[in-house]
């Protein structure tokens, strides 16, 4: 049995894995798990990941959850080029530093704006009050400034002159609010140029392919959600906002 990746490309970490595997010619079977249809809650998927979240990996009888762990597993199993996760101690530390920081910062703030602009209005039928949307946008912009000043600085990529896992994990997260209609790159030329370099490094066509579904997210309708998930998801979003 070959490598299987369980993914939904609406998910940022799933897109990072998809782009990484494809750009490194890693052979895998793409197992699509549609979150809005509740396919991650099935007993069949639970056998792959008891946490019932995507992404998930299955390699023979071995299963693995959590996107960063999966990326590192693929790096080592397939001996991908060194720049992805450098052998140089300090460059690797820069990658680890960003991967440790991003969960509660770029990921959290970008996801909050995406949920506020797209999913909450979709599921409740009401737009988020302007002041709350403005607050979520301001929070994200504070984090973007930290990203530029601390992690990107004046370097082509986070770890130096070549792309790493840190850049890939970062860019898919930043695309989430972009796909919700907030172009965070527009007034940030340094960030815009960094995105261009990341796209070129992985291949523009592959980058666009991975983002096709999320770019079309505004056409998602409430009736596409599994009924058993709809109310629960709505209540969770309302609590967060």
- Taking 70 as the threshold, does the pLDDT of residue 215 lie above it? yes
- Taking 90 as the threshold, does the pLDDT of residue 241 lie above it? no
| Mean pLDDT in residue range 146-163 | 98
Q: What is the pLDDT of residue 134?
A: 95
Class of 89-239 in CATH: mainly alpha
Q: What is the pLDDT of residues 120-143, one digit of tens each?
A: 888 888 888 899 999 999 999 999
- Taking 80 as the threshold, does the pLDDT of residue 81 lie above it? yes
Q: How confident is the model at residue 192 (pLDDT cuts 50, 70, 90)?
A: very high
Domain borders along the chain are: 3-82, 89-239
> pTM, whole model, 2 decimals?
0.95
User: In CATH terms, is domain 3-82 a member of 3.30.1330.10?
Assistant: no
How far apart (Å, rounded) are the C-alpha atoms in residues 155 and 96? 17
Q: What is the pLDDT of residues 201-212, one digit of tens each?
A: 999 999 999 999
- Taking 80 as the threshold, does the pLDDT of residue 237 lie above it? no
């Amino acid at each position: 049995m070959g490598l299987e990746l369980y993914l939904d490309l609406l998910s940022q970490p799933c897109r990072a894995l998809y782009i990484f595997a494809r750009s490194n010619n890693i052979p895998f079977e793409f197992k699509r798990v549609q979150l809005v249809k509740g396919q991650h809650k099935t007993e069949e998927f639970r056998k792959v990941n008891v946490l019932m979240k995507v992404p998930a990996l299955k390699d023979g009888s071995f299963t693995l959850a959590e996107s960063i762990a999966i990326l590192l597993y693929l790096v080592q199993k397939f001996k991908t080029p060194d720049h992805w996760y450098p052998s140089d101690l300090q460059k690797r530390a820069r990658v680890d530093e960003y991967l440790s920081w991003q969960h509660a910062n770029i990921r959290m703030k970008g996801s909050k704006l995406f949920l506020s602009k797209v999913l909450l209005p979709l599921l409740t039928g009401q737009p988020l009050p302007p002041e709350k949307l403005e607050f979520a946008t301001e929070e994200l912009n504070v984090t973007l400034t930290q990203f530029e000043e601390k992690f990107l600085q004046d370097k082509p990529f986070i770890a130096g002159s070549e792309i790493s896992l840190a850049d890939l994990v970062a860019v898919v997260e930043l695309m989430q609010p972009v796909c919700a209609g907030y172009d965070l790159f527009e007034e940030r030329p340094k960030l815009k140029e960094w995105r261009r370099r990341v796209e070129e490094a992985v291949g523009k066509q592959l980058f666009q392919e991975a983002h096709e579904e999320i770019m079309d997210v505004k056409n998602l309708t409430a009736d596409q959600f599994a009924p058993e998930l709809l109310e629960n998801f709505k209540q969770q979003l309302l609590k967060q906002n």
